[in-house]
Amino acid sequence: MSEEPQDTTRGQDITRAELMSRPTPLEAAPRLARAIGLESDDLWVKRDDLIGLGGGGNKVRKLEWTAGAARAEGATTLVTSGAAQSNHARLTAAAGARLGMDVVLVLAGAPSEGMTGNIALDGLFGARVVWAGEVSEGELAAAVDDVARDLRERGARPAVIPFGGSSVLGARGYAAAGTELLVQDPELVTAVVAVGSGGTMAGLVHTLGAERVLGVHCGAVADPEHTVGHLVEGLAGQPAATSLRLRLDQVGPGYSALTEPAMDAITTAARTEGIVLDPVYTGRALAGLIAAVHDGQVRPGQRTVFVHTGGLPGLFGHGETLERARSAVAGTAVRWSRG
Ligand SMILES: Cc1ncc(COP(=O)(O)O)c(C=O)c1O
């Protein structure tokens, strides 16, 4: 690759909040590479899970823009929504703490015993949680509007951060991450990334081009092609020229269900590189990469970057995955006895 990486967001970052140190590490993963059928030097991991704020993860790069803009416009309170174990909600709570803003999280579901993982961290960061019950996407959005109205009536100045942090503004965080990655690895052929609300893939596509990004749909939205495409067009300010590379084969029975390929991927990454993936996003994304190697969509001898988007707290909020991990320990454990 000969062209210089272009930072297409440079000069427009007046409202961006500084929430992380960059670049995040790009680490070789030779043992994982060989385990999934690639050559030792083919596979590298972009460690966005190591972003320092709030336990790390991709949402921080988007929040730099969305929460930064909210703060610049004089907002006092960040309001956002998500699933009960939303990584985005947890990181919005952390961003609010860092920026000195209040945070209200409107979460689908109801409080339950053993509120673990992300929910425990939401509380630690001082966010207020509003449980919206078993609601549709539209109803969750209506609940957010209600909460924001109520806050305004009480004299606060709320700013709504979109579901998953994925607006065109938020996706600029990953347009810049694409530039960061190209500086670290100009040989990049394919970046593999989990797709939820779409902003991460869209930002990468904006900078790297559609042919260099393989997105793995995780079941968070009904039509990922439309969702990501819409954001790509918003970033470019014009219709997208090339079609997106999206794998739709990793959702299984549904968004929060643990699939066998994801469990295999989580176990393989843990046992080859000591890297922890989560069952909903990064586990599915690596399972998608493994499937892509099997069917020839990703080939040995080409530089592949797995974008680790975080999600570790979600693993601790996912009973089935924890149970599988615990039973692996139980299968090997022995009790020490003296003499
Ligand atoms: C750990 C993790 N990885 C990936 C994603 C997907 O990112 P996006 O919503 O930008 O598609 C999410 C979204 O919630 C996430 O929490």
2 CA from centroid of ligand 1 (Å): 31
In CATH terms, the fold of domain 59-164 is Rossmann fold (3.40.50)
- Look up residue 339 and give its two tokens: 């003499």
For residues 132 and 107, is the Cβ–Cβ distance under 8 A?
A: yes
What is residue 1's predicted lDDT score, i.e. its pLDDT? 39
Please give the share of the chain, as a percent, with pLDDT higher than 70: 96
For residues 199 and 255, is the Cβ–Cβ distance under 8 A?
A: no
Name beta bridge partners: 128: 104
What is residue 330's predicted lDDT score, i.e. its pLDDT? 86
pLDDT in tens, 24-57: 999 999 999 999 999 999 999 999 999 999 999 9
Strands 26-28 and 77-82: unpaired
Task: Establish whether residue 56 lines the binding site of ligand 1, counting it when its CB lies within 6 angstroms of any ligand atom.
Answer: no
Q: How many other C-beta atoms can be found within 10 angstroms of the C-beta atom of residue 221?
A: 20
Task: Establish whether residue 310 lines the binding site of ligand 1, counting it when its CB lies within 6 angstroms of any ligand atom.
Answer: yes
| Closest C-alpha residue for ligand 1 atom 1 | 311
For residues 286 and 265, is the Cβ–Cβ distance under 8 A?
A: yes
Distance CA 95, CA 71 (A): 11
Mean pLDDT, residues 286-312: 98
What is residue 29's predicted lDDT score, i.e. its pLDDT? 99
What is residue 2's predicted lDDT score, i.e. its pLDDT? 39
Please report the atom of ligand 1 found closest to the CA of residue 87: 16
pLDDT in tens, 104-147: 999 999 988 778 999 999 999 999 999 999 999 899 999 999 99
Which one of the listed residues 81, 86, 167, 197 is annotated catalytic?
86
162 CA from centroid of ligand 1 (Å): 13
Task: Establish whether residue 283 lines the binding site of ligand 1, counting it when its CB lies within 6 angstroms of any ligand atom.
Answer: no
3-state secondary structure 19-34: CCCCCCCEEECHHHHH
Name beta bridge partners: 214: 192, 245
| Closest C-alpha residue for ligand 1 atom 5 | 196
**Dihedrals phi, psi of 12, to nearest 5 degrees:** -120, 20
Degrees to nearest 5, angle at CA 11 with 6 and 16: 105
pTM (predicted TM-score): 0.95
pLDDT in tens, 220-254: 999 999 999 999 999 999 988 789 999 999 999 99
Task: Establish whether residue 88 lines the binding site of ligand 1, counting it when its CB lies within 6 angstroms of any ligand atom.
Answer: yes
220 CA from centroid of ligand 1 (Å): 9
What is residue 9's predicted lDDT score, i.e. its pLDDT? 52
Mean pLDDT score across all residues of the chain: 94
The architecture that CATH gives domain 26-56+166-329 is 3-Layer(aba) Sandwich (3.40)
199 CA from centroid of ligand 1 (Å): 8
What is residue 12's predicted lDDT score, i.e. its pLDDT? 55
Residue with tokens 């790509």: 232
What is residue 13's predicted lDDT score, i.e. its pLDDT? 54
Degrees to nearest 5, angle at CA 253 with 321 and 331: 25
Task: Establish whether residue 166 lines the binding site of ligand 1, counting it when its CB lies within 6 angstroms of any ligand atom.
Answer: yes
Mean pLDDT, residues 74-92: 97
86 CA from centroid of ligand 1 (Å): 9
Q: Where in the chain is the domain with CATH 3.40.50.1100?
A: 26-56+166-329, 59-164
For residues 61 and 174, is the Cβ–Cβ distance under 8 A?
A: yes
Assess whether 166 carries a catalytic annotation. no
